[in-house]
């Protein structure tokens, strides 16, 4: 991981109990920051953050303008990760609009009012749709095929507009298929990596939508967190959007094969119909901009990242499995 000195910095993390958010929260605390987390508990859980770490938890939503303003006022930096994900957004576009667009506007208005040193906004590679060329650079034309991608792009545009119009130091990072520890397979909205691991563990055949030749750029969560914090801290990031991935294209078929090998399973996956959402054929990101401007490169290979995730998954399953030798209740 990148060596970061956050000693004494006050950081507000919206969505700080979710998958990426909880990893970022822990990382910031361990680097010396004073962290406040705002989370509405829709998918985030307090147990996602190590109970030995000290931070301030404020239950609530980014849609609450007064609460957001109060918390931003007390922060030096804001990592804005709160959002409705692609599945929830597709099912309820009104909630998507309120949280992903309205919540982002609340954060930026508060940052303008209180002189926040920097806001980093978590966007998504879904804004590219089906790209014309690979790997996808930040110059690629955006194509918004879902309510989620619409709202994520709107958040980016608001960051840019507040930077250009009001001088608010804001940047956006476009995540690409982030995976790793704390991506709970019990959460119906979690990513495919956790779903595959759960299926293998339970002796079920993992389901692959379509032929499995669709590709993605899978990014380990520690790398995503490091890049997000670097973008939050660097003046070179202001007013800019960065791709955040690995630059390596992996098919879903190859992904499930690798997970099976790491979990020592000979269960064969089953192919099912295409999904109506995120139906993108190929995705791999060009990460040259973040490499040259912020001197960031991913450190964890897919094999190593999956190995760490399997280790976390199996330890979590063991913690929640009743002791078979314990006496039964009468």
Three-state DSSP state, 19? helix
As a residue count, the chain comes to 330
Active site (annotated) includes residue 148: yes
Query: For all residues of the chain together, what is the average pLDDT?
Result: 93
pLDDT (tens digit, 9 = 90+) per residue, 150-202?
999 999 999 999 999 999 999 999 999 999 999 987 765 578 999 999 999 99
Do 259 and 306 touch, CB atoms closer than 8 A? yes
Question: Which residues of 105-230 form beta strands (DSSP E)?
Answer: 118-124, 170-175, 178-179, 207-209, 215-216, 219-220
With both helix axes pointing from N to C terminus, report the angle between 221-233 and 19-30 in degrees, rounded to the nearest 10. 60
Residue 127: what pLDDT?
97
| pLDDT (mean) for 190-216 | 94
Neighbours of 320 (CB within 10 A): 7
The token pair at 166 is 């009001």
Most confident of 118-132, 175-189, 310-324: 118-132
Top-level class of domain 10-176+220-245+283-299 = alpha beta
pLDDT (tens digit, 9 = 90+) per residue, 228-267?
999 999 999 999 999 999 999 999 999 999 999 999 999 9
- Please tell me which residue in 148, 163, 175, 220 is annotated as part of the active site: 148
The token pair at 168 is 């608010």
Hey, where are the domains in the chain? 10-176+220-245+283-299
Q: Per the confidence metrics, is the pTM higher than 0.85?
A: yes
pLDDT (tens digit, 9 = 90+) per residue, 66-115?
999 999 999 999 999 999 988 888 889 999 999 999 999 999 999 999 99
């Amino acid at each position: 991981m990148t060596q970061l000195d956050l000693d004494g910095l006050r950081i507000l993390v919206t969505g700080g109990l979710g998958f990426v958010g909880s990893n970022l929260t822990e990382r910031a605390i361990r680097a010396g920051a004073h962290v406040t987390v705002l989370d509405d508990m829709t998918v985030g859980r307090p147990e996602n953050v190590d109970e030995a770490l000290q931070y301030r938890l404020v239950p609530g939503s980014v849609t609450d303008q007064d609460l957001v303003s109060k918390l931003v006022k007390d922060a030096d930096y804001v990592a804005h990760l709160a959002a409705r994900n692609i599945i929830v957004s597709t099912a309820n576009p009104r909630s998507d609009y309120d949280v992903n667009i309205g919540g982002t506007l609340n954060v930026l208005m508060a940052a303008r009012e209180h002189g926040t040193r920097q806001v980093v906004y978590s966007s998504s590679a879904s804004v590219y749709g089906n790209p014309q060329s690979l790997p996808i650079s930040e110059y690629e034309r955006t194509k918004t095929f879902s309510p989620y991608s619409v709202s994520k792009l709107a958040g980016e545009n608001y960051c840019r507009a507040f930077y250009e119009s009001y001088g608010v130091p804001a940047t956006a990072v476009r995540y690409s298929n982030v995976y790793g520890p704390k991506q709970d397979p019990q959460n119906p909205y979690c990513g495919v990596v956790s779903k595959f691991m759960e299926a293998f563990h339970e002796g079920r055949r993992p389901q692959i939508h379509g032929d499995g030749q669709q590709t993605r750029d899978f990014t380990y969560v520690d790398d995503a967190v490091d890049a997000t914090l670097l973008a939050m801290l660097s003046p070179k990031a202001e007013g800019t959007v960065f791709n955040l991935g690995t630059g390596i294209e992996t098919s879903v078929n190859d992904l499930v094969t690798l997970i099976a090998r790491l979990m020592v399973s000979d269960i064969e996956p089953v192919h099912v119909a295409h999904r109506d959402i995120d139906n993108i054929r190929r995705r791999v990101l060009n990460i040259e901009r973040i490499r040259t401007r912020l001197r960031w490169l991913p450190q964890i290979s897919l094999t190593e990242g999956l190995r760490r995730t399997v280790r976390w998954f199996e330890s979590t399953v063991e913690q929640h499995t009743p002791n078979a030798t314990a006496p039964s209740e009468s």
